[in-house]
Amino acid sequence: MTFRLSRILFASVLALSTGVLAGSALADGTRETGKLPIALQIYTMRNAGPLEDQLKAVNAAGLTAVETFGKIGDLSAPDLKKTLDAHGLKVTSHHSSLADLRANVQAVIDYAKGLGDDTIVMPYLPPDLRPANPAGWQALGIELAGYADVLEAQGMHLVYHNHNFEMVKFGDKTALEILMDAAGPKMKLELDIAWAQRGGQDPAEFLAKFKGRLFAIHAKDNAGIGDTKAGSMGFISVGSGIVDWAKVLPAANASGAKWYIIEQDDPKDPADAAASIKASAGYLTDHVPVGATR
């Protein structure tokens, strides 16, 4: 009886000390948004007034990192970096189109380097560039592997970002899997969770297929039918929709996600964009797995 009681007491003390440690972690700020690997795809704020106003909203959400896209206004990369630096914002990665890579991959690299960034994300395939069969997806993967080699030689990394159309299946594999297999391990993935779900995938299970090759997730939610808070495309703030984040976030962490990047494709208006990113940042701050660090 004494031995059993000792074990029970030890377990109780251990549980209590674990709780205290967890409380200490919260108290010392390790769960602050800006200290976690949470960022924003600045595309979300594109209609929210001048860049300064956009960045003030990003600051108000507690975020300290952004993912950039294309060319923002008439700013050169160094000038944009100076503006982001003034707001305490680090660049996690930069979205650049396949057309831009094909036209002048060195210009894409130079622009990203001007932002202090080492990661290029190929974000979207317009309909006329989407392969129609497995051979086409393999060919595209091989082409992207070539760009990944060019980037790697200059200390850079190439990443692919999905939508729903890459979830089409050819036999037992999706187009995205065929593409990633053909591109090889040098190309990483930024999995857009909401788009993957719309393509018919269970995002948590799908993430496991890319363990070790996951650069980041794009975090936005799919609204339920009739949800009036959603934008015209049916997207909604993280944690407010039908994505099972309790499964997705641990799965992303287990697959090696370096960043959890908020995106809202179609906020209703500028005020909604600011409110949406703040809500998403708050949810991720509370729920990104312990151990996920910058």
Please name every residue paired with 160 in a beta bridge, in sequence order, or none if there are none.
122, 189
Mean per-residue pLDDT over the chain, rounded: 90
Q: What is the pLDDT of residues 3-37, one digit of tens each?
A: 333 333 333 333 333 333 333 234 345 689 999 99
Q: What is the pLDDT of residue 250?
A: 97
**Mean pLDDT score, 74-93:** 97
User: Percentage of the chain with pLDDT > 70?
Assistant: 90
Q: What is the pLDDT of residues 32-55, one digit of tens each?
A: 999 999 999 999 999 999 999 999
Q: What is the pLDDT of residue 290?
A: 83
Q: What is the pLDDT of residue 73?
A: 83
User: Quick check: 1 and 254 in contact, CB under 8 A?
Assistant: no
Q: Which of 257, 214, 262, 255 has its CA nearest to residue 238?
A: 262
When comparing pLDDT for 271 and 205, which is higher?
205
**Mean pLDDT score, 183-203:** 98
Domain ranges of the chain: 37-287
Q: What is the pLDDT of residue 130?
A: 98
Phi, psi at 288, each rounded to 5°: -60, 135
Going by pLDDT thresholds of 50, 70 and 90, the confidence category of residue 294 is confident
Q: What is the pLDDT of residues 207-256, one digit of tens each?
A: 999 999 999 999 999 998 878 777 779 999 999 999 999 999 999 999 99
In this structure, is the dihedral angle defined by the CA atoms of residues 112, 116, 120 and 123, taken in order, positive or negative?
negative
57 contacts: CB under 8 Å, gap ≥ 6: 45, 48, 273, 274, 277, 278
Residue 261 has pLDDT above 50, yes or no: yes
Q: What is the pLDDT of residues 111-159, one digit of tens each?
A: 999 999 999 999 999 999 999 999 999 999 999 999 999 999 999 999 9
Per CATH, which fold does 37-287 belong to?
TIM Barrel (3.20.20)
